[in-house]
A and B are shown apart, each in its own frame.
Chain A
């Protein structure tokens, strides 16, 4: 007997939203942390030059 698949489209969308959303948030966090560290590094290097 043929069975019709359950309508679970909403859960499918929710699942992949979580997957890609979480990965995107983590990627953005890496980029932001990198940018902040680069800024801090440049600032510290400038301070070091001034000190000399």
Chain B
């Protein structure tokens, strides 16, 4: 087995273990919040998924800058993979937020600043995937992807800070916020530890998935090369 494959296998094993630990902590270790009940536990993976989404979009910015500086197609694969994973986790974040909101806000959805900016962010990156497919020239596609990833990233800090800038009903659990907002709560040490482990676990999951997605992209590029070779 190649050294790189062994490292990836090691990363997969570590990811699996940390994810199992995070799941155990959410389901068993973390206490049940006294007013919201069990649905509060959705918070741990809801925020971790949002974090992973934003991590993906940030990685795409780094890859976009690297591509524009070096013109190496491998950076385009990194950017594409990071955005694809970011989209999946941002979607998990939005859906679980809606599930949490139903018993707490008594509605599945409201056009609150956080929910609105998160939806815009998701749509911005969904459009990235759709628009990419319309460009046949690989070099133009990669250049477009790099610029789009950089410009599209504006939606990420806008989403992150929306609950701190605008009047919102979305609770700000980390770093204070209005304690009277429906659904806000104070984290106990056990809740804080669970939250921390969930963030670490999802960061490992992101790294592992991105590596696999890049390898998939490389395989796709090899297939494209073979097709071109056979055509000429």
Contact = CB atoms under 8 A, between A and B. Distances in A.
A37 B216 contact: yes
A23 B219 contact: no
B134 interface: no
B92 A23 contact: yes
A interface: dominant SS: helix
A12 B33 CA distance: 12
A41 B222 contact: yes
A8 B103 CA distance: 7
B216 A33 contact: yes
B167 interface: no
Interface string A1-45: 001011111011011101100110010001001100110110011
B38 A12 contact: yes
B17 to A, nearest CB: 16
A48 B232 CA distance: 11
B213 A14 contact: no
B62 interface: no
Interface string B211-232: 0110010011011001101100
B49 interface: yes
A48 B226 contact: yes
Interface in B158-172: none
Contacts of B216: 30, 33-34, 37
Interface of B: 32-42, 45-46, 49, 85, 88, 91-92, 95-96, 99-100, 102-103, 205, 209, 212-213, 216, 219-220, 222-223, 226-227, 229-230
